[in-house]
A and B are shown apart, each in its own frame.
Chain A
């Protein structure tokens, strides 16, 4: 106990100092505690009455995790989560430091954790989750993992380590395959879209091909289905009931993520679930930072849309109309963004052709400009430094703006924008 107290105290101090220095306080203190006490996370999470739920997949982890946390909280659970979007083990350790008391006790019923696929594999070696929600396997940072099938194998490792319930997106061809399911010992629960809306969620496999595969039949008796949706209003059915809810979060991909969040919440709450309350709380969830959040700058909205991979970028372009908006695109190629620029060629930018793109920025602004040239989209300015590009972009004619950005570009833009307007602080 004495050691735990010391580790906790030291970790909390490092976290405070990191925050005072202007960081979000996530990775550094986590690394510190991890280094000193390797069992820190395991010991702290082991005591939770509802255990651990892991949310993983290539797209939508942060937003879906936020939804699940808020749904569970409204159902009366006290939830611990890694809110900073620092979805690595260190981020979890750092988040824990902020929540535990000085004796190292975590006052929560359940931990809902967003984990990067590769880190989740590492994480489940020591901590067996009671639940997991697997969203999708899409092309993302292939230069890190090598192949999309490798990513699917990582998610399978998470599913195999899960003790109670594995929630699977049955629309995803890899997650719904016989092979994927064969080694899972926990109960399998599914969610997905109905035949009539399936076309709205193309997978990478039908990226260029026009063919649309038939909706996957549910292979679980306990399914949550997106029956229909229009804009952000979705009809979701489960347990012989149908519910309608309007989301505050834009982007059609978030509609299917919401269905996944409902499926996981149902699995955790079981018969104690207040379904009507859950659907009502779903309509109140706001976007996670940098995931379609809207800031007000000079009296006009400025949307930040995170794009990390071809499917995410395609869905974002499909979800938001460029009409009435001035568009900027910020592409970096840091490790967290992915070094390989090939993904830009798997996105169709024709929808931006009529309005053009006002500014292209980031370390790989020139690659983005080249990509747009071949889709015959006019680009007004190309400027690699994000700060200068942002100033020039905001100085243009007044009106709504939208910025598509990769992960590290989003962090930089938020930092710059926080000097101009109020940007929600991330704990």
Chain B
């Protein structure tokens, strides 16, 4: 396939790259390459010009300190990100960026940080960190396996659906059994660890959505890959204690 490379944009890799979020970008890159597509990796950091023709957007979690550095910039590019989401651009946002893609984050001391409202959800600071291995279930993706580590408690609005129902672990708020959020081709979640390598069905969903939007590609179904190593890792991870 001699088309233009698939462009994967990492949001704020300098400040929001903790917890192995790089693995998500790498999983997308390899699974595209293994199917014969060239990949171009792009990085967007505060103050950069937002690149054109982005096929997939990936963003991760960060320290509180990293988060405060990017908030203003994120609000500035928020309208553009919303346009991209509306037009079907696949996106994966984890932890900190998942929260900031919502309407707001209210910290424990009552300060409210405005999000960009791309996802219909709100988050409040919780009393404790919710930490540990987590399994959720989704009709579309099957069992989703990862690791969560957050104190924010997120509640979904009517404009989004949960990514999965919690089987083991806490999820969005340790209350309603929801984990993550979906809107069009945007996925938000608290699962890192990294998410995509052990959940290839989600990686392939993002890839498929990206390829479908490309007018220069003729796309039918994605070709299958040998996921034996992925399945083995999933099986072991599912049996580990919280």
Contact = CB atoms under 8 A, between A and B. Distances in A.
B20 A374 contact: no
Given A143-B132, A370-B230, A208 B197 contact: no
B13 A369 contact: no
B180 to A, nearest CB: 16
B133 interface: yes
- Kindly name the residue among A369, A374, A375, A384 whose own CB sees the greatest number of chain B CB atoms within 10 A: A374
B42 to A, nearest CB: 13
A244 interface: no
Interface in B6-40: 13-14, 17-23, 26-27, 30
A346 to B, nearest CB: 5
A205 B241 CA distance: 30
A208 B13 contact: yes
A367 B236 contact: yes
Contacts of B194: 342, 345
Contact of A342 (B30, B193, B233): B193
B18 A339 contact: no
Interface in B137-188: 147, 149, 151
Contacts of A170: none
Interface stretch (A30-38, A145-153, A183-191, A194-202): A145-153
Interface in B192-241: 192-194, 197-198, 229-230, 232-233, 235-237, 240-241
Given A146-B129, A339-B132, A345 B20 contact: yes
B64 interface: yes
A101 to B, nearest CB: 44
- Chain B interface residue bracket vs A: 35 or more
B4 interface: no
Contacts, number: 99
Contacts of A371: 23, 197
Contacts of B63: 147-149
Contacts of B77: none
Contacts of B76: none
A139 B19 CA distance: 9
A143 B149 contact: yes
Given A208-B13, A209-B14, A369-B232, A342 B19 contact: yes
Given A146-B131, A147-B63, A342 B147 contact: yes
B2 interface: no
Interface in A336-377: 339-346, 363-367, 369-371, 373-376
A121 interface: no
A271 B189 CA distance: 58
B23 A345 contact: yes
Interface in A142-199: 142-143, 146-149
Contacts of B151: 146
A205 B45 CA distance: 14
- Chain A interface residue bracket vs B: 35 or more
Contact of A340 (B13, B149, B197): B149
A370 B193 contact: no
B149 A364 contact: no
B152 to A, nearest CB: 12
Interface string A105-142: 00000000000000000000000000000000001001
Contacts of A416: none
B17 A208 contact: yes
B3 interface: no
B232 A382 contact: yes
B149 A146 contact: yes
11 contacts: A142-B18, A142-B149, A143-B132, A149-B64, A341-B193, A344-B20, A345-B193, A345-B194, A366-B235, A371-B23, A374-B23
Counting from the closest, the 6 A-B pairs by CB-CB distance are A345-B20, A345-B23, A342-B20, A366-B233, A370-B233, A342-B193
Given A205-B14, A366-B232, A370-B229, 16 more contacts: A143-B149, A146-B131, A146-B149, A148-B63, A208-B13, A208-B17, A208-B22, A340-B149, A341-B147, A345-B20, A345-B22, A346-B17, A370-B232, A374-B23, A376-B30, A384-B236
